[in-house]
């Protein structure tokens, strides 16, 4: 049978795995995070990389284990683009730091593409972020070539502008279009050809 390749719009508070195998899963409160199993009724597919439970956005899944491993390997530097809503309005100095690299957990991040972003047209988050009347927020578009744990959140916090909401909008040239939170679809013919080119080129 041919391999399956899926795009999924992960909602907020959903684990990017099919089972909740965390150490505190049995003792967690009655309201447990959902998993991919609650949304994707396709057997034997696994995510290419992860997305934190409190982040939203695009995930790629496949049952092609070799491709999954290759695309998950940090050495191939696949780009990932995020829209980050941050607390307060970032200064030019802070944006310049994000672009050149910041120190987080004894590691200096690679240069990133960072631009200011008008408030995007996104579905409301459930629950919404906490609104604070006297503290403005702003949006940034951040493109990385690495994917360390909670990297965007740690980067913006390091320059003084904590992330309040985080949405991954692109993985390489695959984009979060024609999907609503919780929806998934198979890659179309054009996207499959793109995926094969990316795989071969790397």
Of the candidates 24, 65, 26, 28, which has an alpha carbon nearest to the alpha carbon of residue 48?
65
State whether residue 178 is helix, strand or coil: coil
Mean pLDDT, the chain, rounded, equals 90
29's enclosing H/E stretch is none
Say if residue 83 is in the same domain as residue 155: yes
Q: How many domains does the chain have?
A: 2
Q: For residue range 171-194, what is the model confidence (pLDDT) as tens digits? A: 988 999 899 999 999 999 999 998
Say if residue 66 is in the same domain as residue 26: yes
Span 136-145, average pLDDT: 96
Say if residue 87 is in the same domain as residue 71: no
130: domain CATH number? 3.30.70.1560
Higher pLDDT, 151 or 66: 151
Say if residue 111 is in the same domain as residue 157: yes
Say if residue 150 is in the same domain as residue 89: yes
Higher pLDDT, 1 or 132: 132
Say if residue 49 is in the same domain as residue 95: no
Q: Are 152 and 181 in contact (CB under 8 A)?
A: no
Say if residue 165 is in the same domain as residue 93: yes
Say if residue 181 is in the same domain as residue 116: no
102's enclosing H/E stretch is none
Strands, E, within 42-149: which ranges?
A: 46-47, 56-62, 80-87, 103-104, 107-108, 113-117, 137-144
Q: For residue range 10-66, what is the model confidence (pLDDT) as tens digits? A: 999 999 999 887 665 544 445 678 999 999 999 999 999 889 999 999 999 999 988
Which domain covers residue 111, as residue numbers?
A: 79-171
Higher pLDDT, 70 or 26: 70
Q: Which pLDDT score, from 0 to 100, does residue 144 have?
A: 95
Does the pLDDT of residue 122 top 70, yes or no?
Answer: yes
The contacts of residue 64 (CB under 8 Å, 6+ apart) are 3, 5
Say if residue 124 is in the same domain as residue 201: no
Say if residue 104 is in the same domain as residue 163: yes
Say if residue 28 is in the same domain as residue 48: yes
Confidence of residue 137 (pLDDT cuts 50, 70, 90): very high
Confidence of residue 1 (pLDDT cuts 50, 70, 90): confident
22: domain CATH number? 3.30.70.580
State whether residue 189 is helix, strand or coil: helix
The predicted model scores a pTM of: 0.91
Percentage of residues in the chain having pLDDT higher than 70: 91
Active site residue 52: yes
The contacts of residue 146 (CB under 8 Å, 6+ apart) are 74, 77, 109, 110
Q: Are 82 and 152 in contact (CB under 8 A)?
A: yes
Does the pLDDT of residue 158 top 60, yes or no?
Answer: yes
Say if residue 158 is in the same domain as residue 188: no
State the catalytic residue, choosing from 20, 38, 52, 54.
52
């Amino acid at each position: 049978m041919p391999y399956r390749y899926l795009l999924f719009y992960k909602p907020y508070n959903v684990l990017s795995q099919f089972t909740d195998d965390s150490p505190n899963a049995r003792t967690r409160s009655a309201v447990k995070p959902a998993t991919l199993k609650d949304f994707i009724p396709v057997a034997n597919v696994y995510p290419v990389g992860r997305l934190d439970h409190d982040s939203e956005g695009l995930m790629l899944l496949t049952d092609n284990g070799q491709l999954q491993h290759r695309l998950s390997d940090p050495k191939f530097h696949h780009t990932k683009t995020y829209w980050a809503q941050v607390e307060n309005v970032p200064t030019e100095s802070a944006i310049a730091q994000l672009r050149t690299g910041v120190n987080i957990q004894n590691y200096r991040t690679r240069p990133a593409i960072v631009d200011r972003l008008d408030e995007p047209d996104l579905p409301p988050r459930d629950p919404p972020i906490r609104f604070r009347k006297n503290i403005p927020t702003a949006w940034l578009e951040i493109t990385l070539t690495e994917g360390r744990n909670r990297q965007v959140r740690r980067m913006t916090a390091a320059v003084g502008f904590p992330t309040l909401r985080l949405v991954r909008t692109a993985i390489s040239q695959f984009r979060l279009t024609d999907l609503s939170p919780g929806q998934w679809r198979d890659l179309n013919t054009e996207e499959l050809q793109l995926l094969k080119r990316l795989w071969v080129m790397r």
